[in-house]
Structure 1
C-alpha cells in the first residue's frame, strides 16, 4: 500500500515538474530529479516483487492460501495457474510475532 502511494506521489511530482518546466525552462534539473525518483520507485516495485519470488507471469493468481512453512518457519502464499492447475509457493517473509 505504501509503495502505491509513494509511486503515485512520484508520478504526480513528475507531471507537476513537467508543467513547471514548460513555463520556466530553467527548472529542468528539478524535472530530472523527479523523473529519477519516479523511475526508482517503479523499479523498486518490480524488483521487490521479483526478489520475493512472486510469479511474474500474469497467468498465476493468488489463491488466498497463506501458511507458515514448517521447514523454514516463514509465511508462504500459494499461487495457481487456473488453466493448468500448476501451483507456486512464495515466501512472504517472517511470521508475525506473537502478541504479548
Structure 2
C-alpha cells in the first residue's frame, strides 16, 4: 500500500515535470500521454482490487469458512460467497476484546 502511494506520488511529480517540458516545447506529447495513462491505470487498479468489505450480506450469500484477523484493526474478517454471481465479500466482525 505504501509503495503504491509512493509510486503514485512519484509519477504525478514526474508528469508535472514532463508536462512543463512539453509546454516549453522541449519534449513531444507522447511522454505526457504515457505518464497520464500509467497514473490512470494505477488509480484504476487501486479501486478495482480494493478489498470488498461491508455489512452482512443477504440470505443468498454463503459463508465460505475462510477467516483471518486483520493485523491493522484486530477485526476478524470472514469471507462470504454469492453462488449466483460468483462474487466474494470480506466482512469484518467486531474486534476481539482485550
Structure 1 residue 44: Cα displacement: 1.0
Q: How does 1:12-91 map to 2 (within 5 A)?
A: 12-24=13-25, 26-49=27-50, 52-55=51-54, 71-75=65-69, 77=75, 89=91
Higher-Rg structure is 2
TM-score, length of structure 2 as denominator length: 0.54
Aligned length: 67
Partner residue, 2:5: 4
Q: Which structure has greater helix proportion? A: 1
CA gap of 1:10–1:26, structure 2 versus 1, over 3 A, is: closer
Matched residue of 1:72: which SS? strand
TM-score, length of structure 1 as denominator length: 0.53
Moved over 4 A (4+): 73-79
Matched residue of 2:66: which SS? coil
Unaligned runs of 5+ in 1: 61-69, 80-87, 91-100
Alignment RMSD (CA, Å) = 3.0
Structure 1 residue 14: Cα displacement: 1.2
CA gap of 1:10–1:78, structure 2 versus 1, over 3 A, is: farther
Partner residue, 2:95: none
